Amino acid sequence: MRDSNASVPLKDSSAPVLVLASASPRRRELLWQIGVPHRVAIADIDERARSGEPVGECVQRLALAKAMKVWPAELPVLGADTAVVLDGTMLGKPRDRQSALAMLARLSGRTHRVLTAVALVTGKDRQLRLSESEVQFRELSPEECERYWQSGEPLDKAGAYAIQGLAATFISRVQGSYSGVMGLPLFETAELLDSAGVARWQNAVQPVGEAARRQG
């Protein structure tokens, strides 16, 4: 019997209703998950934090800067930025094997914060939302960290790990937004889209009512 709560597949041919100012496949996947057809425009900006800048302010500034880099556009523009924070220090994307292993060693057995900001720019206004989560890592062995590095997954990830990938086995607890840790908090994103009149759940293959009638 089909589960009435199962996700409804979407047609990839849907006309875009949004521009995503990011090349991240994870953010694209999350937008498709909530049924938002979109196109991508890569925003090439300086993502370095300013001296003394609080992390929350930094990710909000960068999310908005990414969206503004792409604006003006014929559609609303969504930008996002994510930071992994441990002991007050932002852990960016690792430069190489040594920096990745150092980050993983620091995260091992510890709880860290993940902050993701989302910005939406339209012809009328600019809006921001901030998501903050806590992630608990179990103890990691040096050998395990080395094997993880060899997988290639850590290289382009803040904090040198991907919660939705192989590193899922490192994580004992998440408090907050799983999608926010991935890089696009869907609750906050939906709030922004709704406030701007950008439709979600586009082009479901069949209406929920039809699915319920078939199950019944």
Which residues are catalytically annotated?
81
Distance CA 188, CA 119 (A): 10
SS3 assignment for 39-57: EECCCCCCCCCCCCCCHHH
Give the DSSP H or E segment for 129: strand 126-137
The 8-class DSSP code of residue 167 comes to G
User: Which residues make Cβ contacts (< 8 Å) with residue 42, sequence separation at least 6?
Assistant: 21, 22, 23
For 20-140, where are the alpha helices, taking DSSP H only? 25-33, 55-70, 97-107
**DSSP helix/strand/coil, 100:** helix
Q: Please compute Rg for the chain using Cα positions.
A: 19
Instruction: Read off the amino acid at residue 60.
Output: Q
